[in-house]
Homo-oligomer: A and B are copies of this chain.
Amino acid sequence: MSAHGNAIKMQGKDVTVHYGDKQALFGVSLDVPEKMVTALIGPSGCGKSTFLRSLNRMNDTIEGCKVGGLLTLDDEDIYNPKIDVVELRARVGMVFQKPNPFPKSIFENVAYGPRIHGLAKNRQQLDEIVEKSLRRASLFEEVKDRLHEAGTGLSGGQQQRLCIARAIAVSPEVILMDEPCSALDPIATAKVEELIDELRENYTIVIVTHSMQQAARVSQRTAMFHLGNLVEVGDTEMMFTSPTEKRTQDYITGRFG
């Protein structure tokens, strides 16, 4: 279905999400093509994070949250009881909206994922993974002298980059990013965008962003949400130049809300 001809990595069909009585998503059908960046945009509270969290079943952890419809990864229903959530999450990694480093050292924060998944055979490999991940998140230079100090002592932006590094370190197939740059300055943002571009070669990426520019810069496909509905989805270029829906157009030009 992808206009780019890429295979579909993840797919949502009529996805509905309820938080207790409150419905947050009203039947969203969206495909995520492989090795591409899909951006989710839309006004605050429209359900972007909610959809994103359904993709690796992080919604399971919220009490009273019910997900309906069909969601697949490589054609497997990820809400099938037989599916393994842990493996799913290892394959579909996530970076959250609020930076949430563990109360451990910077090194341990990044090493955590590789450790539990047994990705490093020995300490040296682990060091390598950590360094590589920190570099890719453009944090290494800033923290190389204090790898063993607490990750919580970093500035907000540094913390967020740390979380990105942590997610990259387990080399997932899909990376979900919930406004990864909202706490970053332009330079760091540019670096992360570069990184996303780079990652795209091997990984599938879904990114939630508030910045139209960012969506335009990094994504190949864009999906526009509004009030829990998917308004429009399509190639980014098309979306930003000639959106079919009036609401999209209004949103992009900053005319509605």
A139 to B82: give the CA distance in the assembly, Å: 41
Q: Are A179 and B186 in contact (CB under 8 A)?
A: no
**Would A187 and B256 count as touching, CB distance under 8 A?**
yes
Instruction: Report A222-238 residues with CB < 8 Å from chain B CB.
Output: none
Q: Tell whether A49 is near chain B: CB-to-CB under 8 Å.
A: yes
Q: A142 to chain B: which residues have CB within 8 Å?
A: 45
**Shortest CB distance A7–B (Å):** 31
List B contacts of A69 (CB < 8 A).
Answer: none
List the one stretch of A8-16, A115-123, A153-161 in contact with chain B: A153-161
Whether B45 and A183, one on each chain, are in contact in the complex, defined by CB atoms closer than 8 angstroms, is: no
Q: Does A191 contact B (CB under 8 A)?
A: yes
| A97 located at the interface, meaning its Cβ lies under 8 Å from any Cβ of chain B in the complex | yes
On whether A183 and B182 interact (CB within 8 A), knowing A44-B155, A44-B161, A155-B49, the answer reads yes
Specify which of A44, A161, A182 lies most central, judged by the most chain B CB atoms within 10 Å of its CB. A44
**B residues in contact with A210, CB < 8 Å:** 157, 183-186, 189
A-B pairs, top 10 by smallest CB distance, nearest first, are A187-B257, A44-B157, A182-B182, A45-B155, A185-B210, A97-B156, A44-B185, A43-B185, A44-B188, A43-B187
- For the complex formed by this chain, how many copies does it contain in all? 2
Cβ of A35 to closest chain B Cβ, rounded Å: 26
- Pick 17 A–B contacts, CB within 8 A, sort by A: A19-B153, A41-B185, A43-B187, A44-B156, A44-B184, A45-B154, A45-B158, A49-B155, A138-B257, A156-B178, A156-B179, A157-B210, A179-B182, A182-B182, A183-B210, A186-B211, A189-B210
Verify if A251 is at the interface (C-beta below 8 Å from B): yes
CA distance A257 to B161 in the complex (A): 14
Q: Complex formed: what's the CA distance from A162 to B43 in Å?
A: 16
A45 CB to closest chain B CB (Å) equals: 4
